[in-house]
Structures are given as structure tokens and as C-alpha cells.
Amino acid sequence: MEPRAKKNRYKADRKIKRENAGRFFIHAGRGFLWFSGIALLSAGFILVHDLVTQWDYFNIRTIVVDGNRHLSKKAVLEQAQVETGKSLLAMNLNRARKRLLAHPWIVEATVKRQLPDTVEIRIDEETPLALVDLGSLFLINTKGEIFKKWSDTDPQDLPVIMGLDFSDIPTPGGPPGAAWESAVAVLKLGQRRNAMIPAPVIRSVHADPETGITLCLFEGGKAVRLGFGDLETKLAGLKQALFRLNLMESVADFDAIDVVETDRIVVIPVPDEFTSGTHREA
């Protein structure tokens, strides 16, 4: 019986190694080509992006600003950091919007691009209700919230709430004090059409945590004492009483009106030699 021929394992191992090495170089070559293609494609995109964004055709030439009542167009553009001559396509709309929202006067903002060369900015501003004197003057909105410290570029013809300090101002989410709540409420009532006491005639609101609020009207400082709560009822009763007394046309001729109680109104005329020490009730 003849012996079996032994396999040449050395030659087989060399063949396998050569095949594995070939596969490695093939995969490595493919990987290199793939990464090279991606790099070239990325470089192409960057080149196209740079060419397009630097193309004068897409430079900003027109900027439209809408919704600004207190802020000037210049102030809005400076806050957004938007200016003509820059690339419209390179502009970061979200970043410009965040800059606008950082301004205390701006409640909401949208920034849009209109190809080829226009930026549209739309803002919603705070509606100021009054100033509050807390040692320094602060602006409050129609929600009764302080939104900024007053400066000489802000409105100067607003009524001033006086007599309170920081401890009387409600914190976010916290309940307002009675004096603060009444002061804000009467000013909001004054903004209504045909209001009994229109907001423009109110010069100041003196708010006392113990006795309530007193309005100071006109330049002469005519006083209307309202106390706390039921303000709409009190003002409606005051209107009816003045009609009954035929005094609607001459309210400014009176020194003070007391409406602290809803069922009793005291009208005190300006004292003179004939009316000194007298008053009328309704």
C-alpha cells in the first residue's frame, strides 16, 4: 500500500496570505477613493457656497421693518445687527431674531429673507401702561409687569404709580397686592373707550397698602379717592351721580371726589369765598 502524498501547507498559507493582502489593498483603495470623493464633494459645496454667498447679486439692498411704534427703524436694525451690503444668504435668521428678543421693548419678532436682496423684520412691542416710582422710574405693561427701567428716550406722558416699594410688586407667578392690583386695574379701565376717567387725564396714582388708591387728575392735581376693589362699580356710580348733579361738564372745577364706598360719593368743590367748607353728596 502506497503512502498518501502530504499537502504542501506552506504553499497554501502563502496563497491565503496573498489573497488576504489583495483584499485589504482593494478595500483600502476603495475607502481612499470614497473618502477622497467625499472630500472633493465637500470642497465643491464649500466653493459653491462661498461663490453664491459672496455674489453681489444676493447682497442686502432693502430692509423692511414693521410693527415698531416706540423703537426707531435704526434701533431695530442695530439690535438685529442687520445692514445693507451684507450677504442675504449668509445671514443667520435665528440669531438675528434672538438678538431682537433680547431687547426689553420687543415681545416677539420674526426675520425673513426675500430673494434676491430683501430682509423683512416684524416685531411686536410692549404696550406701556404706566410708570412706577420705586426710587427710580420703571415702565410697566398692560399685564402689570415691569419690563424695563425708564430712560429719557421712553414715553414721558404716562401716569406714575407712587407710594409703593419693591416688596409691593408681585413676583412672576405670585399674587399681586391689593394696592398694586387696584392701581393697574384703574389704569386699564381708563384705556377703554368712553371711560369715566380716561387714562390721559390721570397724572399719577397714589397707592397705599392701607387705604387704597387715589387718582391725581389734570395738571391741577384733582383727587379721586377710590380705595380698594370694585373699581368698575365705583366709577359707574360716579358717572351716574355726576349726571344727576349736572356736574359732568365741570368735574375739573372740583378739588376732590371720594368714592371709597360704593353707595356714597362725596364731591368736594374748589373752595372760594362762596363755597368754602361745603361739599355735595350723591
112 and 99 in a single domain? The answer is yes
Q: Is 177 part of any domain?
A: yes
206 and 245 in a single domain? The answer is yes
Phi, psi of 166 (to 5 degrees): -60, -30
18 and 33 in a single domain? The answer is yes
Q: Is-contact 97 122, C-beta < 8 A?
A: no
The phi-psi region of residue 135 (left if phi > 0; otherwise alpha if psi is between -120 and 50; otherwise beta) is: left
CATH number at residue 196: 3.40.50.11690
Rounded to the nearest integer, the mean pLDDT of the chain is 81
The length of the chain in residues reads 282
- pLDDT over 90 for what percent of the chain? 41
78 and 24 in a single domain? The answer is no
Kindly report, residue by residue over 58-67, the tens digit of the pLDDT: 899 999 999 9
State how far the Cα of 210 lies from the Cα of 217, in Å rounded to an integer: 21
Instruction: Write down the pTM of the prediction.
Output: 0.72
Kindly report, residue by residue over 139-171, the tens digit of the pLDDT: 999 999 999 999 999 998 999 999 988 888 887
Give 1's Cβ-side CA count (13 Å radius).
2
pLDDT class of 44 with cuts at 50, 70, 90 = low
Higher pLDDT, 56 or 70: 70
- Look up the domain containing 111 and give its range: 56-125
Kindly report, residue by residue over 239-260, the tens digit of the pLDDT: 777 766 655 555 556 778 888 8
110 and 48 in a single domain? The answer is no
26 and 120 in a single domain? The answer is no
pLDDT class of 93 with cuts at 50, 70, 90 = very high
Q: Is-contact 155 141, C-beta < 8 A?
A: no
CATH number at residue 62: 3.10.20.310
- The residue among 85, 100, 125 that closes a domain is 125
139 and 265 in a single domain? The answer is yes
Q: Is 222 part of any domain?
A: yes
163 and 179 in a single domain? The answer is yes
Q: Is 173 part of any domain?
A: yes
DSSP per position, 19-83: HHHHHHHHHHHHHHHHHHHHHHHHHHHHHHHHHHHT-GGGB--EEEEES-SSS-HHHHHHHHT--
Domain count, the chain: 3
Pick from 224, 204, 221: nearest CA to 157: 204
140 and 255 in a single domain? The answer is yes
Q: Is-contact 131 138, C-beta < 8 A?
A: yes
94 and 190 in a single domain? The answer is no
Q: Is 25 part of any domain?
A: yes
